[in-house]
Structure 1
Amino acid sequence: MDRLQEAIRKARDERASRQTEPPVPPEAPQPVLPENRGGTWDALPELQIDQHLITRNRLIAYHGGAEAAPYDMLRTKMLQQIQSNGWRRVALTSPYSGCGKSTAAANLAFSLGRQKDLRTIVIDFDMRRMGLAEILRQTGNYSMADVIHGNIAFQQHALRHGQNVIFGLNYSSTRNPAEVLQSRAMIETLERIEEEYQPDIMLFDTPPLMASDDSHGFLKNVDCALLLGAAEETSIDHIDVAEQQLAELTKVMGIVLTKCRYISEAFGYEYGSY
């Protein structure tokens, strides 16, 4: 009996000692971090914009606000279709030059840049001219054709706007853009860019449809395209023919009229043109 009582006493003592010891907290769960794509993007030099050019070159979406509303609406409608269809590559084209295509590409880029959860890469594939570089007043020694040919790496050529937009510009014209845009090297270059930078959207400023065959070989590599025409300049017949050509090459996301002005009765002030 004495042994049994001693064993009970020891058990009680051990139980009491365990109750007075502070409980050991469970190991805190490690936070699940979002995918980190910052390092590669942050390594790129930042795009420097002369503030005087914002008004002069109609970069109305650069700062946002009421003036940017047309491009913000276009951005939102574009994103809705992209997300619904699982698209990534979007081309901007026009029947011929002078329709405001490059200006629209720049403004869409700045509008998309205010979507902080999206990463956008904008590439100028209109290689006969330096449209985006001239609008943004950027200078350099190479073009996107040099990137495709391997003369310079994309990370040495590209410019970053903020934390989530990259521009690939042309600082010189290319003599044979149709062949470059239809080459296997172009396809491999885009695949490498997508693999390294993992963009949510790739926006391409592509050549006019009715001026040459430059874009005809490339557009099969995009998911969809926007067709841009200039108000009071581009005829309905030209838009109709260009839309038919575009539909044979890729999906037509929509038609955008640029260089137009209208008064909003709902808001009581004038919006700028696309």
Structure 2
Amino acid sequence: MERIKLAIERARAQAGTAQPQPSPAWEPRTIDLPPLPRRTVDAVPINLLPLDPFHLEQHRIVGLDQNNPLRQSFDLLRTQVLQKMQEHGWRTVAITSPSMASGKTVVSINLAMSIAHHPSKTALLVDFDLRRPSVATYLGLPAGNSLNEVLTGEAPLDSAILHVGIPGFQVLATQRRVMGAADVLASDRVSHLINGLRDESPDRIVVIDLPPVTAVDDVIAVLPRVDCVLVVIGSGSSTTREIEEAKRHLSRFNVLGVAVNMAPLSQAHIGYY
């Protein structure tokens, strides 16, 4: 018993003098978790309105066909237009011609599609040829809210802008002829509309299809609200007198240059390849 008592007392004495051992240090552990879903507030999914390739081909719209060699011509035009616009900080460009049958609407649509293919740009095509609107016909767009309803206040702007064919390509079409077109184009409503379309997105280029400059005064009424203008001359359709008259009308505006349309294929295909 005496031995047991001494052993207990010795164990107690040792326990009283022993230093507590530190607990192992805590180290963070890396846990692989599945990524959180990204917010899509600013990237709302867009339902693209499909376009009929055969219908586009019938109306000489080549902007969606990557295999069409004529698309290269519009890509070259796009690069020249964008470079010139970027030099001056311009984001709205009007398309007009000296006379009818120059193919300005075909150029407007194909140029806008080419801009939409650019990796850092989007394009909004607006049909401001209010006397003879044809963008909707050339693209085969269905009936619905359009620039007509926006101008009269019957529909909001968002409901009339269509996302068509490819991402980055939008169209604000005019479905019916507008009476008093020159007065409408000179109105504050159109001025506010163009400014809003331009300022809504810094990457957007607004392409505006206008009537021929020598036919009516609509072009002169709206051009003060547009950054610059591109003139389309139809090979064999615009006379020297019409071209000179167009030059006189446009002399006080920012003219990007002249695009010759409907050139013979033997000349149009001369290039790098």
TM-score for both structures, normalised by structure 2: 0.80
Q: Which residue of 2 aligns with 1:264?
A: 270
Q: Which residue of 2 aligns with 1:79?
A: 82
CA contact (8 A) 2:194 2:225 kept: no
Q: Which residue of 2 aligns with 1:49?
A: 51
Q: Structure 2: which amino acid aligns with 1:154?
A: L
CA contact (8 A) 2:95 2:232 kept: yes
| TM-superposition CA deviations, 1:211-269 (whole Å, max 9, x none) | 11111110011111100110012123322221231122x200000110112242642xx
Q: Structure 1: which amino acid aligns with 2:27?
A: P
SS in 2 for 1:215: helix
Q: Map of 1:143-162 to 2, 5 A cutoff?
A: 143-161=146-164, 162=166
* Shift in Å, 1:134: 1.4
Q: Which residue of 2 aligns with 1:187?
A: 191
1:210 and 1:141 mapped to 2: Cα distance? 31
Q: Map of 1:211-250 to 2, 5 A cutoff?
A: 211-248=215-252, 250=253
CA contact (8 A) 1:120 1:203 kept: yes
Runs of 4+ in 1 over 6 A off after TM superposition: none
Note if 1:109 corresponds to 2:112.
Answer: yes
Aligned length: 247
| TM-superposition CA deviations, 1:88-120 (whole Å, max 9, x none) | 011001112211010011111221121132121
Closer, same or farther: CA 266–75 of 1 in aligned 2, 3 Å: closer
Structure 1 unmatched runs, 5+: 1-5, 26-32, 268-274
CA contact (8 A) 2:98 2:243 kept: yes
Q: Which residue of 2 aligns with 1:138?
A: 141
TM-score for both structures, normalised by structure 1: 0.79
SS in 2 for 1:87: coil
Note if 1:124 corresponds to 2:127.
Answer: yes
Q: Which residue of 1 aligns with 2:175?
A: 171
1:36 and 1:258 mapped to 2: Cα distance? 42
2:170 and 2:87 mapped to 1: Cα distance? 24
Structure 2 unmatched runs, 5+: 1-16, 31-37
CA contact (8 A) 1:139 1:171 kept: no
Q: Structure 1: which amino acid aligns with 2:85?
A: I
CA contact (8 A) 1:143 1:173 kept: no
Instruction: Tell which structure's C-alpha radius of gyration is larger.
Output: 2
SS in 2 for 1:38: coil
2:175 and 2:271 mapped to 1: Cα distance? 43
